[in-house]
């Protein structure tokens, strides 16, 4: 069993999968789910749709979500965690134990893959000698290799703000956060994190969503 990202090459193979007639009232179509994933990403959320493949044959579909989106029926565990939004096995491949194997693959993915948006940590503001780290959060500890290493994002007080729009306009949010910090008498540590919830490769720059965190002493 293998989880395969859905793209232009396999999307119709996945859309054409379906459950039995008596199951359809309880399971959204794969087309509906893929549309929901697209809209979630456009709104700055995280949705991860995959095709389920057995010996290179598409046999099912799964979609994971990460974090909360503001829905009334969201479970508490959705905050800072994965949720299983969809899981289906095509009617031609049911009763073969593939659902259980799919869950095993999902658990493996959740444990070793990014569980949140990519980030950059800025350790100074010297553009001639800039010190930064680039990374993403994971659900469990993993081994590093070469220049890649496991680190922990510090807990504690933070000044946090969100910016929707081009990266060039991020300075406006920085100015507001610096003012807010000063007015309340906090002292920054000098470390700032930027989290990127979507990419200019996928959406217009006006829809980019970025979170900025100032770590405070």
E strand or H helix at 194: strand 188-196
Query: 3-state class of 7 per DSSP?
Result: coil
Q: Where in the chain is the domain with CATH 3.20.80.10?
A: 118-216
Per-residue pLDDT reduced to its tens digit, 115-170: 778 899 998 877 677 788 888 887 667 666 666 778 888 889 999 999 999 998 99
The pair phi, psi for residue 110, each rounded to 5°, is -60, -35
CATH of 118-216, one of 3.20.80.10, 3.40.50.300, 1.20.1250.20, 3.30.420.10: 3.20.80.10
Per-residue pLDDT reduced to its tens digit, 29-55: 999 999 999 998 888 888 889 999 999
The fold for domain 2-112 equals Aminopeptidase (3.40.630)
Q: Which of 39, 46, 42, 38 is nearest to 11 (CA)?
A: 38
Q: Where in the chain is the domain with CATH 3.40.630.30?
A: 2-112
Q: pTM for this one? A: 0.56
């Amino acid at each position: 069993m293998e989880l395969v990202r859905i793209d232009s090459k396999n999307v119709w193979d996945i859309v054409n999968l379906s459950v039995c007639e008596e199951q359809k009232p309880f399971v959204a179509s794969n087309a509906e789910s893929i549309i929901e994933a697209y809209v979630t990403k456009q709104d700055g959320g995280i949705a991860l749709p995959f095709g389920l493949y057995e010996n290179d044959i598409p046999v099912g579909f799964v979609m994971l979500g990460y974090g909360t989106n503001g829905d009334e029926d969201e479970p508490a565990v959705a905050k800072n965690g994965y949720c299983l939004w969809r899981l289906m096995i095509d009617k031609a491949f049911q009763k073969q134990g593939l659902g259980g194997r799919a869950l095993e693959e999902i658990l493996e993915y959740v444990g070793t893959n990014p569980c949140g948006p990519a980030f950059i940590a800025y350790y100074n503001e010297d553009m001639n000698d800039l010190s930064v780290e680039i990374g993403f959060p994971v659900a469990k500890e993993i081994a590093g290799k070469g220049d890649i290493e496991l680190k922990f994002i510090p807990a504690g007080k933070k000044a946090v703000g969100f910016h929707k729009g081009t990266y060039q306009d991020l300075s406006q949010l920085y100015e507001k956060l610096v003012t807010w910090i000063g007015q309340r008498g906090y002292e920054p540590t000098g470390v700032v994190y930027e989290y990127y919830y979507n990419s200019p490769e996928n959406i217009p720059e006006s829809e980019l969503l970025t979170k900025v965190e100032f770590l405070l002493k």
